[in-house]
Amino acid sequence: MMLSKYNYNESLKRFEPKEKRCSYCFQNESENINNYDFIKLYKVKDRTNFVIYRSLKYEEMEIGISRCNSCVEFHEEASRKSPILKYAAYMLILIFVLPAFGLKVFIVGISLSVVLFLLLHKYAAKKNNPTERLTLKQGITSNVTIQDLVISGWIFDKPSA
């Protein structure tokens, strides 16, 4: 069975990993189950689509990925910085592109925005050192159990009729 590495928590209706080693940095051990990253997966059992009637039945599963304190802080910091960097890039584009004083200003604005994005990306890559730690998405997609579940028909997005 593919969920042999998990315990089922009846009260919270979720699968909790037995393995304490962090699935994102592969070095530390998780000290608190509240730090785990819990993912919801769905599997369609029955779908009926008639002109006047639609019905959908699906299973839902919540499965955990172990995560240490250090990786929790890393992921929270990344989620805080991401919108700030995005809006900074948008502001630069607005400042240099919207005045539309000609094609030269437009080209210079786009060029500066691209250069700024590349510099920020390079700085973030140096600071976070992604070779040592996986992002949330990388950790989810690299988890063998979740890969097996996806292959067997489970999906990440809640199905709709």
What band does 157 get if pLDDT is binned at 50, 70 and 90?
very high
What distance in Å separates the CA atoms of residue 136 and residue 15, rounded to the nearest whole number? 18
Quote the Cα angle for 119-112-117, to 5°: 30
What distance in Å separates the CA atoms of residue 129 and residue 123, rounded to the nearest whole number? 10
Over range 118-128, report the average pLDDT: 62
Contact partners, residue 90, CB within 8 Å, separation at least 6: none
130 compared with 9, residue with greater pLDDT: 9
Beta pairing class for 14-17 and 6-9: antiparallel
Q: Which helix (H) or strand (E) holds 126?
A: helix 103-128
pLDDT value, residue 106? 63
44 compared with 100, residue with greater pLDDT: 44
Q: Mind listing the pLDDT tens digit for each residue in 28-83?
A: 998 889 899 999 999 999 988 888 888 999 999 999 999 999 899 888 887 777 67
By three-state DSSP, how is residue 3 classified? coil
Q: Mind listing the pLDDT tens digit for each residue in 68-84?
A: 998 998 888 877 776 77
Torsions phi, psi for 120 (to 5 deg): -65, -40
Burial per residue of 6-43, b for 16 or more beta-carbon CB atoms within 10 angstroms, e otherwise: beeeeeeebbbbeeeebbbbeebebeeeebbbebebbe
What band does 93 get if pLDDT is binned at 50, 70 and 90?
low
CA 108 to chain centroid, in Å, comes to 34
